[in-house]
Amino acid sequence: MSLTNEKSTEDIAHGIRKRVFLHTMRNNGGYLSQACSAAESLAFLYNEALHLGAPTLPPVPKPFAGVPSAHNPDAFTGAGYHGPFAAEYDRFFVSPAHYALVIYSALIEVGRMDENALDHFNKDGGSVEMIGAEHSPGMEVTTGSLAQGLSMASGVAFARKRAGEKGKVWVYMSDGEFQEGQTWECLSAMRHHGIDNIRVIVDVNRQQCDGAMSSVQELYDLPERITAFGATCRSIDGHDLDAMRKAADSAEPGKPLVILANTSPFQGMDFLKKRFPRLHYVRFKSEAERTEMRDALAVELGVDLNEIEEA
């Protein structure tokens, strides 16, 4: 990346978890387990893998300026926090839009956004949405319903390859998106067209909105299935940064690279095991429940209780 960052990737991952935890405690809810599973992947992407220019949007995000159109010159996309579009720079697409708080926290940890940006989280008229859209920080396109992000990113990658651009296209996905047919159609199309300038990291945390994936629709033999569709597939421990570095450097000519980051929805926050399998979104039904989780996770994350209550 082009910005100077003195933090280690490990420190950034811890900072992401801590920041999402603090926000969840102060706002009576949040996508907390996603920070547990995604922290290392996003820290690796922003701190090591992505080649990005300096942000083109202000440190504190602007209000929503309307949808892009020929008649709205003020419209913007959150991709500005990844820097300018240029042939030498990478592009980064976030497919699971409900990971928005985790993305915002990552942007703050690597210095691409000010921490005061979260003061605007989920506020009317703002762009720092709970479920990210194309104007939200770090988001280039609107990717909900799930499984649309990979297709859009692959189209950009195909165009960049044909244009001879040096920059790669990176995609962050969730494993639930492999329950959707569009994902498999996209994998097949990428292999057919030889789209090999795309890198995909999948958060395989085996959780979805309705609970554990095994109780909804099991994926079975996911590495074998992805390989059968023509992609290079690496299955790794998603919390092992050395394994991620090695996998990210293992692309093959003519094939997209898919890295299955097998993760834990409790990583760094073991107390969340008590809520299993209800982990998709954490909200507290009572002050006693909030206090119990606050005190336990503060110890695990090394957070001072006074810091939690500061607004």
| CATH code, domain with 291 | 3.40.50.970
Query: Is residue 1 one of the residues assigned to a domain?
Result: no
Confidence of residue 311 (pLDDT cuts 50, 70, 90): low
Asked, for residue 136, whether it belongs to a domain, the answer is yes
Checking if the pLDDT of 288 tops 80, the result is yes
Total tally of structural domains belonging to the chain: 1
- Is residue 4 one of the residues assigned to a domain? no
Average pLDDT of the chain is 93
**Cα 147 from Cα 183, distance rounded (Å):** 6
Q: Is the pLDDT of residue 140 over 50?
A: yes
The CA-CA-CA angle for residues 77, 41, 277, to 5°, reads 100
* CA separation for the pair 110, 4 (Å, rounded): 9
- Residue 198: inside a domain, yes or no? yes
Of the CA atoms within 13 Å of residue 103, those in its CB half-sphere come to: 28
Whether 2 is covered by a domain: the verdict is no
Q: Is 59 among the domain residues?
A: yes
pLDDT in tens, 35-67: 999 999 999 999 999 999 999 999 999 999 998
Whether the predicted pLDDT of 151 surpasses 80: yes
**Residue 155 belongs to domain spanning:** 9-309
Asked, for residue 3, whether it belongs to a domain, the answer is: no
* Pairing label, strands 169-174, 198-204: parallel
